[in-house]
Structure 1
């Protein structure tokens, strides 16, 4: 009887404890569906957004915390960003997060900005990944370890990230303009923070920040893509609803930036070749209706080729390039302009010219055409973002930081409803010299000072609470991410001129259509010494035809919500098209016009060469660029006329200056042609329409130059090391390479691929080189390896790279050499092999869920007669590899005796 009573008591205890746990779990409360975004909430204050897309084979889990650099106090600059890094370390329950992310083949990251911090993971869609990701995010919300030992390593990684930014003149200039424009508000502080604060913060201080802001009432969880909604709600309930709502009150940021009362000046002097002019105007929060008008005005002023500032400054060669930027922020922000200035221009004269043009903004008579052009472009961007579900889920991070995800829809509505009067009103209100940070401070009486409206939480709530959005679009059909399904939905054919094409029947959200075409052209004789001519020709293909100006071409593409991009490699012109089902035929007609009737106006030739050279001049002392170029020059010995020759930056600049319009026109007329091209279209396009459009666009386009594939020469590499001094550069770079003979049919190919994954490129910072340099020693922000093994020839390369503080140069060299030698000497372990097999397999499945990957696979099939089944076959071979296979490849191919290394940086820095 006693044993029976004890047994009964234990059963009762178990049942009671399960009842208590069940009571703690709470089903998320459904709040509504706004244009396909289903919104839920939990009693602890957490918000949940579900966005389903059956056409995806991937899903994303993205958690957004409403905390960013604006919430940092004295001595805390950079804390939000540093904490983001630390949360990838480990938790009390799950341990090493990066390792588990890698095992699942996930693509993951975290980002921090003024108003928010987010963490996201993209996985192949299955219930195991969904459950794990939700459990992991709940665990690191409250159970991150934040160890001082981890922080000691990570702060130098973050500092190195800071130093990388310090090498970028545009980024440094933006930081300085922001810090000058804001007197009190924390938007004046760079998100990456103060180097001194980063270095000195201690784990307990960081933990207080974490415990205050990383709570359910300050978080929004987004799940998007293909997933089981019922299971998602179940896992959220099990993992998040049991977390208590904290008793503390977060409060709100109450600092309000006062109106600026005079034009401000910031002058930056440091090493670098770039000449830049920048201007920042205080404007509005994203919630303000004026944000849409200002976004349109930004397009109207800066767009190439129609922008007023572009026409008066770039086309007239006063500056080489211009861009504008306005972040979606919670509080009043800045509209920021950047002007790149050619090296030979006087900076003071140019600054006065820029200011003169800026002063005209408030007086321009904006037209209905200006408005329509800007609205087409902005609405195209909005649709493109919304119709890429995975990217859309991460894009909402910024909008949530600005106050509410529904603000994205209100912004779109505001863009749709813009009038010319709105443009004139905001131009007159905000574009005043006393509201600008650019030049000198000039006292002036009777100024009309600008004070953007402040948006309180209840005001944003009143805007968004009852907002219902537009009618839901049709959901695209599911598409299984597999080679078998790709083959099932693929149609191949040949055009009358010999061009091969593929059509992938796949519904994409919004009836989007994507295509990539590759023109293989020319021969050794016809292409000799024409690399720069070909590159410039490609960049000028959208600058006007016999029937349409550059402006008209761009306007029509914007109206069609479409883009056409051109990119030239030595023997291949790649054309990328993005459009929508109903617009696709007309977009292809535009492409035909460009490929057959381009005029290459002389002023566009002049502007483009100036723009390209200004960009190259800015990189003359850039450590990363210098290591890449020097490595290519040292590891090969091509003659200068060869298409494979790599010139110095100065050589390229000088060669660009020699390019003439006649040379460009001759290249266009005699070398461009589609008779040896391949191309793939993906989308739900009627095959008859698609083929007719391809035939109409490319069928009669043949090259006068006979195509002969040029293959690279094998140059044996011998160990060498070179240092390049770049004085006063905060960051340094290292690159290494060696050449060997192999192609993708080689017996050693699968083992070499996995050996490279293990050594430097696999997983989420878990391969040996990044794990050693970043995770273990904290001496490099970015480090790893790369591998190029061709299909049609046997000239292969393996290399490594690292970004680091110049004072860590020797430590980086020693660590990389030790990891390579250790791999060759000791080989890999059974566990390491098993882990990386799993990582590789999962990543390959993730890649099959990306439309771009499907297009690339089909184009490779068309170009190289590469069977689609080889994709699965390679994975099967990799899964069958044994430890000896990897170790034999390491011993056969790797070793420090054949690696050329280049290190660039300010190595005199103490």
Structure 2
């Protein structure tokens, strides 16, 4: 589910499930394929985006892109929490929930979504609300979804009965945010910053406002803002342009142009005239420091400088805060972000501390660093490094049609979708003098909220807030040339197998090279190095995790900064990870940079710097993370469940360690141990490297062989770590986590099967119908019908080698609802076991599950990861085709028999964690 950085009360509501829909049979308008459909007027074309208008005022943006067989539809309404009046906080967010409760024409939205296999979200933010879905390109689904969006715009129930049933869900969402001290502190910081403007009000709203909302006022809010002249429809990805124009004209064109006049938003906070401070005291977590500063609107010319200042200060490893806090071990980590909003927004910077670090010293250095630009001006190197990173991220996002289709919502909310491009151009053009001027103007003690009041005889204030003349601002905008269209790619398993070149280097490394057209010539890669045995890996503690975390912190040839700078210049991303017996690298490059990116990866893997300073930083961050987890219900419960019935001794890689044992391992780890682990275990003898995207296979193989072909390492034996079946002792675990308003349930069962078992497809489908689909039994009972949980699902963690698979179910809820949650889950499982599923459930679930699987094969990064795993198992993508066939041929008797054979309640473990001391 999507969420803002602060989530919870300061989050975008994300009602995300895999969904999909059927086609609406309205009459189609007739128009020539070469012209917009009747009623649609072409306004302009900018960098591959076509803007149209309907007579009723609806703005339409069409972004055809044949490079990936997926389609994204996004409807953005220019209404968010900023439009709520006194007593109405949370109304925009609550309305988002109720839209999914349906209309007379579509009474069961989630069931219809799931039947077609769409991946859909709704989100509410300060200036806007949007509803979007991505799915494997399918004209019937696209036509249906456009029809549903048009219907939802003006015909949704927004009924008292739905408001009552959804209220517990919204409360549970609030409680989920209340468990996180960082989110709560951020909400209080912004509330202290904004004394009059609604940016200081939580998007999810005040509990009393949400619980006391008047249905008539909510319906009036809906009728006022959910209208075509207040909305932008965006369609991106693979679709037939002429057909989509006709469908839009048919479905949305039938909506009358509203006669009402929207209220004008005019409130602005005055310039802040003194330091402010807010302190939060709660149980659990680790020390945090936030420093917030008022800035400019997203459309303001100085917003580009604010974006770069955020990186100059908070980026890792180049940022000033990282160098002066993290590297000096005054903080475990630093962060920062800025919000581009319609009205003047904010820049927020902060630090997370390990438990033993001095909060006051960190606070002093944090503020001194942020507010030091007059005495320590920005350097040209700092500016260019930040610019390269920002532009790299922008270019990577623009290369993804799914990302563009949703990201334009933010520019729409700022006032004009073209700001998406204008901000990019301003970042390219901003000068050192501009950034220095903006830093000096806004990063002032008197403009800071951390916040202690200090009387000052001659206060220095930031510039007064001002609105932006969009017409004047956009005069400087000159659109770049649109990217060339890319041919479509067939993502069937048969075509993926036929298009992939499989081979092996003499050293042992397996290769899967899948060349395919992509927008902006992007290449996704995955490298997995497998090492050691269960015996040789014993007693290594956190050496593997530390090594993976240290690989991006410099090599013997380059400093950490130089290595990262080169990646940014190449517009590439590289991430390292570790698990027992394997080290993985996920990376993104482009056709013309792939060779050098592979070289940088080889340099980091083969000749890492592995310094004491890097180990100290990694250790501090790990200890800080463990300290934060100790009081969180989910982490406390998962620790207890992992240790239950675990038969392996301390030191074995399969041993489930307690929080204390994790701390001990990190504290005992030495640099010599990490260096020895690297020398002993890493090589290219056993592993897989996969590439998916726009590249030339012969050249790529030559580069791979040059970089990795002679990496023999220490020739340590390697074998998969055995993980045999261990039965779980049935029973109940109930753990108390004080002062946590959201509780967690995990329901678990061990099964002696794997993904080669004859019941693989049947049990997968049974679980989908029980708890993983958007129309599942558990979802409908706990989320839709009784409103007890914001998130409830079940899943199967399939093993691919040992006959040792885990089934589990999970839910979050208010602690006082624990008896009702348990009763509902027991009843739903008992009903499924006794009565079985229906043929209608199977038919709908099968269609949705197959559509989800098709959508997954359209994601290049997932394809790269899948090939790495398949090569290790000696398999190909025809396995996916076989599973699709098995799912297609399942009978109702097979599905019900698998459910009854494996999901036996008397063999399950129930785990609960939360504050159950309250009435």
Counterpart of 1:172? 184
Counterpart CA distance in 1 for 2:177 and 2:712 is 46
Pair 1:709-2:707 in alignment: no
Is the 2:330–2:358 contact (alpha carbons within 8 Å) kept by the matching residues of 1? Answer: no
**3-state SS, counterpart of residue 727 of structure 2:** coil
Counterpart CA distance in 2 for 1:451 and 1:365 is 20
Counterpart CA distance in 2 for 1:768 and 1:226 is 33
Equivalent position to 2:729, from 701, 718, 721: 718
Is the 1:544–1:553 contact (alpha carbons within 8 Å) kept by the matching residues of 2? Answer: yes
Cα-to-partner distance string for 1:178-233 (whole Å, 9 max, x where unaligned)? 00001100000111111121222133221111111000000000000000010111
Counterpart CA distance in 2 for 1:465 and 1:369 is 30
Is the 1:258–1:451 contact (alpha carbons within 8 Å) kept by the matching residues of 2? Answer: no
- List alignment gaps of at least 5 residues for structure 1: 1-16
Is the 1:65–1:118 contact (alpha carbons within 8 Å) kept by the matching residues of 2? Answer: yes
Counterpart of 2:384? 372
1:529 Cα offset (Å): 2.4
Between 1:845-854 and 1:298-307, the stretch displaced more is: 845-854
User: How do 1:288-367 residues align onto structure 2 when only pairs under 5 Å count?
Assistant: 288-367=300-379
Counterpart of 1:749? 760
Counterpart CA distance in 1 for 2:259 and 2:411 is 27
- List alignment gaps of at least 5 residues for structure 2: 1-25, 32-36
Pair 1:896-2:896 in alignment: no
Counterpart of 2:688? 678
Counterpart of 1:831? 840
Distance 1:390 1:635, change over 3 A: farther
TM-score with structure 1 length normalisation?
Answer: 0.96
Distance 1:375 1:829, change over 3 A: same
Counterpart of 2:746? 735
Alpha-carbon RMSD: 1.7
Cα-to-partner distance string for 1:366-389 (whole Å, 9 max, x where unaligned)? 111111100110000100110011
TM-score with structure 2 length normalisation?
Answer: 0.95
Equivalent position to 1:843, from 837, 848, 852: 852
Counterpart CA distance in 2 for 1:253 and 1:594 is 52
Counterpart of 1:774? 783
Is the 2:103–2:155 contact (alpha carbons within 8 Å) kept by the matching residues of 1? Answer: yes
Distance 1:452 1:578, change over 3 A: farther
Counterpart of 1:866? 875
Pair 1:529-2:539 in alignment: yes
Counterpart of 1:617? 627
Is the 1:531–1:570 contact (alpha carbons within 8 Å) kept by the matching residues of 2? Answer: no
Is the 1:635–1:738 contact (alpha carbons within 8 Å) kept by the matching residues of 2? Answer: no
Is the 1:60–1:223 contact (alpha carbons within 8 Å) kept by the matching residues of 2? Answer: yes
Is the 1:34–1:468 contact (alpha carbons within 8 Å) kept by the matching residues of 2? Answer: no
Counterpart CA distance in 2 for 1:76 and 1:862 is 56
Distance 1:702 1:192, change over 3 A: farther
The size of the alignment, in residue pairs, is 888
Equivalent position to 2:673, from 663, 673, 676: 663
**3-state SS, counterpart of residue 849 of structure 1:** coil
Is the 2:728–2:750 contact (alpha carbons within 8 Å) kept by the matching residues of 1? Answer: yes
Distance 1:293 1:18, change over 3 A: closer
1:713 Cα offset (Å): 2.5
Counterpart CA distance in 1 for 2:840 and 2:133 is 24
1:647 Cα offset (Å): 1.1
Is the 1:319–1:339 contact (alpha carbons within 8 Å) kept by the matching residues of 2? Answer: yes
Is the 2:269–2:465 contact (alpha carbons within 8 Å) kept by the matching residues of 1? Answer: no
Distance 1:359 1:807, change over 3 A: same
Pair 1:760-2:766 in alignment: no
Distance 1:608 1:466, change over 3 A: closer
Equivalent position to 2:803, from 773, 794, 812: 794
Between 1:866-875 and 1:113-122, the stretch displaced more is: 866-875
**3-state SS, counterpart of residue 750 of structure 2:** strand
1:263 Cα offset (Å): 0.4
Pair 1:543-2:553 in alignment: yes
1:83 Cα offset (Å): 0.8
1:76 Cα offset (Å): 0.9
Counterpart CA distance in 2 for 1:447 and 1:757 is 62
Counterpart CA distance in 2 for 1:221 and 1:292 is 26
**3-state SS, counterpart of residue 780 of structure 1:** coil
Counterpart of 1:887? 896
**3-state SS, counterpart of residue 781 of structure 1:** coil
Is the 2:191–2:201 contact (alpha carbons within 8 Å) kept by the matching residues of 1? Answer: yes
Counterpart CA distance in 1 for 2:783 and 2:894 is 28
Counterpart CA distance in 1 for 2:787 and 2:432 is 54
1:680 Cα offset (Å): 0.8
Pair 1:79-2:91 in alignment: yes
Counterpart of 1:236? 248
Counterpart CA distance in 1 for 2:173 and 2:638 is 19
Pair 1:692-2:731 in alignment: no
Counterpart CA distance in 2 for 1:105 and 1:515 is 27
Counterpart of 2:218? 206
Cα-to-partner distance string for 1:408-450 (whole Å, 9 max, x where unaligned)? 1111111111211112101110011000001310111222311
**3-state SS, counterpart of residue 316 of structure 1:** coil
**3-state SS, counterpart of residue 873 of structure 1:** helix
Pair 1:257-2:266 in alignment: no
Is the 2:278–2:451 contact (alpha carbons within 8 Å) kept by the matching residues of 1? Answer: yes
Counterpart CA distance in 1 for 2:491 and 2:147 is 25
